[in-house]
């Protein structure tokens, strides 16, 4: 990996990397009490063109021992929303509008990895494709997240 590429890789756990210093909101956006953290989701790489994250299957299974489809949806929305945020214009913030998931196969153990790429990003709407794969690189789920970009409003 080239020196310039190192700034494009990061993790939400551990010390702040140069990437997190450049986008500190991402570190703040995923505190321990949030759903993604409770499910063990880690964002391992982020850049406007590609966001990658992982999630353990253990702890995110349905009663039959398979990765829960809802867990895949949470992973997809977490990674897709991060990509939407990185692709925003100015201070506009992405808000999820639609999430669709197609589950192709089950995962029983290990980690699943989500890779998100922008399909179309405009000033008002962004659509992102998320592919979730198992440890062997087999596609587990394909998701599409559409976000609308809204003007930032102050928090109460």
**Catalytic residue among 42, 77, 98, 136, which?**
77
Close Cβ partners of 128 (under 8 Å, ≥ 6 residues apart): 80, 83, 84, 116, 117, 118, 119, 144, 145, 146, 147
Between vectors from CA 25 to CA 31 and to CA 43, what angle results, nearest 5°?
A: 60
Cα separations in angstroms, 148 against 13, 17, 120? 28, 29, 12
Q: Is 27 a catalytic residue?
A: no
Residues in the chain, overall count: 156
Kindly list the catalytic residues: 77
């Amino acid at each position: 990996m080239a020196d310039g590429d190192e700034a494009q890789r990061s993790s939400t756990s551990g010390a702040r990397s140069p990437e997190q210093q450049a986008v500190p909101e991402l570190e703040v956006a995923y505190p321990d009490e949030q759903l993604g953290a409770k499910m063990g989701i880690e964002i391992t790489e982020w850049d406007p063109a590609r966001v990658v994250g992982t999630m353990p299957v253990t702890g995110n299974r349905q009663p039959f021992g398979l990765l829960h489809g809802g867990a895949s949806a949470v992973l997809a929305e977490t990674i897709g929303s991060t990509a939407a945020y990185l692709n925003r214009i100015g201070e506009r913030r992405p808000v999820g509008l639609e999430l669709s998931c197609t589950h192709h196969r089950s995962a029983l153990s290990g980690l699943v990895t989500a890779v998100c790429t922008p399909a179309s990003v405009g000033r008002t709407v962004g659509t992102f494709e998320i592919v979730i794969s198992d440890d062997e690189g087999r596609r587990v789920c394909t998701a599409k997240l559409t976000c609308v970009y809204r003007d930032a409003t102050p928090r109460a």
